[in-house]
Amino acid sequence: MTRAYNFSAGPATLPEPVLRQAQAEMLDWNGVGASIVELSHRGAEFMGVAAQAEADLRTLLSVPDDYAVLFLAGGATTQQALLALNFAAPGQTVDYVVTGHWGKTAIRQVRPYVDVHVAADGEPGGFRDIPPRQDWSLSADAAYVHITANETIHGVEFRDTPDVGTVPLFADFSSSIASAPLDVSRYGLIYAGAQKNLGPVGVSVVIVRRELLERAGQPRADIFNYASHAARDSMLNTPPTWNWYLLGLTVKWMLEQGGVEEFARRNAAKAALVYDAIDGSGGFYRNEVAVPVRSRMNIPFFLPDETLTTRFVAESKAAGLLALKGHKAVGGLRASLYNAMPVAGAQALVGFMRDFQQRHG
Amino acid sequence: MTRAYNFSAGPATLPEPVLRQAQAEMLDWNGVGASIVELSHRGAEFMGVAAQAEADLRTLLSVPDDYAVLFLAGGATTQQALLALNFAAPGQTVDYVVTGHWGKTAIRQVRPYVDVHVAADGEPGGFRDIPPRQDWSLSADAAYVHITANETIHGVEFRDTPDVGTVPLFADFSSSIASAPLDVSRYGLIYAGAQKNLGPVGVSVVIVRRELLERAGQPRADIFNYASHAARDSMLNTPPTWNWYLLGLTVKWMLEQGGVEEFARRNAAKAALVYDAIDGSGGFYRNEVAVPVRSRMNIPFFLPDETLTTRFVAESKAAGLLALKGHKAVGGLRASLYNAMPVAGAQALVGFMRDFQQRHG
C-alpha cells in the first residue's frame, strides 16, 4: 500500500493516524464487540464519543460558552437553507457578501424565504479580490450578514474578520475552519461541512451564539430547527455517528499536533511554497488573485494552454499527486492544502511543478 | 477481538464481511493511494461506486425504471419533512395512518406545511394492532397517504401493502426495506434511513415514481428539492460518500447471499424462534402485538417486573448479546433482527431467554 498526496478540494485527505485508528477499530470499538458504526447513538459508548468530540472541538477553536456547537447531517448547502429558516422572518432582508462560487450558492438556497440584498459582489472583478469593506452597502435592518470565509473554487480568503456592526455576522467556514486562530465571538454563527479540515464528509458543524436560537424564524419542520437540535445535543434524530466519530478523531489529532496555531504555521509554509513556485515561474504558472486575499487552503493556478493542463493532471497523478485538476467552473489546476496535507506534500508538488516546467516550459 | 450479537434497533449490526472489506480498504481504496472517504464525489472512482450501489439496489428491490432512486444525507426524519414540501401544495390535505411512534413523528414534521388528516390511528388500542383497512377514513383529495411499514418501537408491521386507490401511497420503510420481497410499483414513494437493513447511518434512500417529481409542492430551497437531486444523480451537493459506499457493500452482500427472498426466509425463521420463545414461556415473557401484524424486524417483549428487566439487560450483555434494552417510550426489552443478524444470533438469544427463565422464572 502506498499513500499518495491527495490535493482534492473535498472530500479531502485525512490524517493517516486517524485512518489507521478507524481501521483498527472497524470491527470492534474499544472491546465492546461491535463497530462504532453499529452502536446506538443513544448508548453510553457513542454518547461518550460525541461528547468528547464536542469538548475537543471547543478546545481547538476556543469556542465561548455562550455558543452552542451542533453536529448535523448533510453538508454546508443544507445549513445555508436553514440560516434563513431559523434566523430571518419571512421576507426579511438578509445581506450577502459574494466573493466566489459558494457565496452565490448560499444565496440560491435562501431566495425562496427572504429578501436577499447583495451588499458587495466580487464577480465583476472576476472574483480576483474581495470588495473593500468601506464599499459594502449593508442594510441597517438585516437579519444577518453572510460571508464565505474561504472560496474553494476561486481561491479567495478573508484574512481578517470584517466589522459589520451590530448585525450578526454569519460565515461559511467549510474550507478554512481550524486552519488558523479564529475569534468566534466576532461571529453570530459559523458553519462548516467537515470534509475539508474537520474530517469526513457527511456531517456539518454549526457554532451559533445561543441567544440567536431564540429568534422565531419561519414556519418549519422540527428537524429544520436549530434550537431543537441544540436542546437535544444534536440527537434530535439519529445523527451520522460514524462521521461524527471520525471528526472526533481528526480534531483530537489536530490538538495533539499543536492546535490551530501550529496549523496556521504549517498552512502558511505550504501556501508560501506553492505561491512562490507560481510567482517565480516567469508566467508559466499563473494565479491572478490579489495577494492579500489569496487563499491558504485552495490555490487555483493556470498553465499557458489546455494541452499542458491535461498533461499536468495526468503526469502529476502518475507521480502520486492526486486530484490537481481545477474545478470545472474555472478550469486549470487547483491544489488544496488542508490541515491534513503535510508540508512534505506541498514540497513534492512544487518539485513536480519545477520539473514539469523544465520539461514543457 | 470477539464480535458480539448486536440487537440494536439502529444504528444496527452490519455484515462482518462488509466491515472487513471497509477495514481492508480504509487507507487505500482499490490501489488509488487514498481512502474512499478522501476521494472527490465527482471523480471517476466514487462515481463508479455510487452508480454500482444504485444498480445493485435496483436489482435487490426490483425497482421499476420509472422510479428514481436517491441517496441523500440525513435520516428518515428529514425525508418526512421533505415529503410535504415536495408533493403537497401549501395547506393541502395529506392522509396519515398512525401505527406507532414513528407515524406520529412523521406527522410532526409536516404540520407546519399541510393539513394533516389522521385517516386511522392505532394509539387508542395501544399500538397493538393495525386498524383494519375498511375503517380508514381516506380523503379523496389528499396529496398522498402515508404509512409506516414497520414500527421499530411498538413492533407492528404491515405484512401486506394496503390498497389506497389512486392517491399515491408513501411509506417509511426505514426498518424493513429489503427484509422481504416488495412490489415497489404499489407505492408512489418509499423512503428509508439506511442504518437498519441497508448499511450505515448517515444516508437515506428515497425511491420515488418519477412523474411525482413534476409536482410543484411548496416554495423551498433547492437543496430540499427532490427533483433537483434526481436531475443531478444525488450529487447536487457533496453527498455522504463513505456512507453511500458502505451501503453499496451491504447491498452487494445481500445480493450475494440470495437477495430478498433468502432474507425473507431467514427473517421469518429468526422471528419465529423469538416469538415462539416468548409465547411458550407461560407468560414469563410477553409480547402483546396482534399476531398477524407482529414485526419480523423488531420484537419488543416484557418481563414480569423492572428488577428482572434490569437483570436481563445486564446478564445478556455479559453473555455477548448487546442492546436488548427496550426503547424508553415503552420500556421492557427489544430484539432487532435485521438482515445482518444471523439465525445463529436469534438462536443464541432464545437459548439465553430459556436459561434466564430457568434461573429467575
pLDDT in tens, B1-47: 589 999 999 999 999 999 999 999 999 999 999 999 999 999 999 99
CATH number, domain at B303?
3.90.1150.10
What separation in angstroms does the CA of A32 have from each of A26, A36, B106, B256?
Answer: 12, 9, 33, 28
State the average pLDDT over residues B101-117: 97
Quote the cell numbers at residue B45.
472512482
B14 touches chain A (CB under 8 A): yes
In this structure, are A54 and A79 located in the same domain? yes
> In this structure, is residue B8 part of a structural domain?
no
Q: Point out the annotated binding site of A for pyridoxal 5'-phosphate.
A: 76-77, 102, 152, 172, 195, 237-238
Count interface pairs A-B at CB distance under 8 A: 215
Quote the cell numbers at residue B22.
471497509
Beta bridge partners of A192: A205
Domain finish residue from A256, A287, A315:
A256
> In this structure, is residue A167 part of a structural domain?
yes
DSSP H helix total and E strand total for chain A: 9, 13
For residues B107 and B116, the answer to whether their CB atoms sit within 8 Å is yes
Distance, CA of B21 to CA of A123 (rounded, Å): 46
Q: How confident is the model at residue B361 (pLDDT cuts 50, 70, 90)?
A: confident
For residues B57 and B173, the answer to whether their CB atoms sit within 8 Å is no
Nearest CA to A13 out of A267, A345, A332 is that of A345
> In this structure, is residue B5 part of a structural domain?
no
pLDDT at A1: 58
Quote the cell numbers at residue A134.
468601506
Quote the cell numbers at residue A5.
498526496
Q: Which domain, by its residues, includes A184? A: 16-256
Q: How confident is the model at residue B75 (pLDDT cuts 50, 70, 90)?
A: very high
For residues A222 and A236, the answer to whether their CB atoms sit within 8 Å is yes
In this structure, are B224 and B263 located in the same domain? no
Domain finish residue from B238, B256, B274:
B256
> Taking the CB of residue B16, how many other CB atoms lie within 10 A of it?
14
* CB within 8 Å: B238 and A195: yes
Least CB-CB distance to B1: which of A28, A78, A239? A28
pLDDT at A361: 86
B102 tagged catalytic: yes
Distance, CA of B192 to CA of B198 (rounded, Å): 9
In this structure, are A101 and A167 located in the same domain? yes
Domain finish residue from A256, A282, A311:
A256
Q: Point out the annotated binding site of B for L-glutamate.
A: 42
B259 touches chain A (CB under 8 A): no
Query: Which ipTM score applies to this complex?
Result: 0.97
Least CB-CB distance to A242: which of B10, B35, B202? B202
Question: According to DSSP H, which parts of chain B are helical?
Answer: 16-24, 44-61, 76-87, 101-110, 226-231, 241-257, 259-279, 306-318, 343-360
In this structure, are B232 and B300 located in the same domain? no
In this structure, are A336 and A315 located in the same domain? yes
In this structure, are B160 and B191 located in the same domain? yes
> In this structure, is residue B141 part of a structural domain?
yes
Distance, CA of A18 to CA of A250 (rounded, Å): 6
A41 touches chain B (CB under 8 A): yes
Give chain B's mean pLDDT: 97
Q: Which positions in chain B touch A243 (Cβ < 8 Å)? A: 202, 240, 242-243
Nearest CA to B271 out of B238, B299, B245 is that of B299
In this structure, are B208 and B317 located in the same domain? no
* CB within 8 Å: B41 and A201: yes
pLDDT at B2: 80
State the average pLDDT over residues B314-332: 96
In this structure, are A163 and A304 located in the same domain? no
* CB within 8 Å: A32 and B219: no
Residues of chain A under the 70 pLDDT cut:
1
Least CB-CB distance to A11: which of B37, B219, B224? B37
Q: Which positions in chain B touch A193 (Cβ < 8 Å)? A: 238
Helix axes A241-257, B241-257, angle to 10 degrees: 130
> In this structure, is residue B12 part of a structural domain?
no
Q: What are phi and psi of A42, to 5 degrees?
A: -100, 5
Q: Is the dihedral of CA B59, B62, B65, B69 positive or negative?
A: negative
> In this structure, is residue A11 part of a structural domain?
no
Chain B residue with CA closest to A225: the answer is B109
A216 touches chain B (CB under 8 A): no
Distance, CA of B95 to CA of B142 (rounded, Å): 6
State the average pLDDT over residues B149-175: 97
In this structure, are A268 and A175 located in the same domain? no
Residues of A marked as catalytic: 102, 172, 196
Using a 10 angstrom Cβ sphere, with 0-12 exposed, 13-18 middle and 19 or more buried, the burial of residue B130 is buried
Distance, CA of B176 to CA of B192 (rounded, Å): 9
> Taking the CB of residue A3, how many other CB atoms lie within 10 A of it?
15
In this structure, are B166 and B26 located in the same domain? yes
Distance, CA of A7 to CA of A10 (rounded, Å): 9
Total domains present in chain A: 2
B196 tagged catalytic: yes
3-state secondary structure of B322: strand
Quote the cell numbers at residue B52.
454500482
In this structure, are A147 and A135 located in the same domain? yes
Residue that has been written with the C-alpha cell 460514524 in this structure = A242
pLDDT digits (tens, 9 = 90+) for A4-18: 999 999 999 999 999
For residues B14 and A241, the answer to whether their CB atoms sit within 8 Å is no
Helix axes B259-279, B44-61, angle to 10 degrees: 60
> In this structure, is residue A181 part of a structural domain?
yes
If phi over 0 gives left and psi between -120 and 50 gives alpha, with beta otherwise, what is residue B332?
A: left
Distance, CA of A331 to CA of A358 (rounded, Å): 23
Q: Look at strands B5-6 and B321-322 and give their pairing.
A: parallel
CATH number, domain at B189?
3.40.640.10
Using a 10 angstrom Cβ sphere, with 0-12 exposed, 13-18 middle and 19 or more buried, the burial of residue B282 is exposed
In this structure, are B236 and B327 located in the same domain? no
Give how far B282 is from chain A: nearest CA, Å: 32
A44 touches chain B (CB under 8 A): no
What separation in angstroms does the CA of B160 have from each of A100, A294, B267, B293, B338?
Answer: 52, 61, 16, 9, 19
> In this structure, is residue B4 part of a structural domain?
no
pLDDT at B40: 95
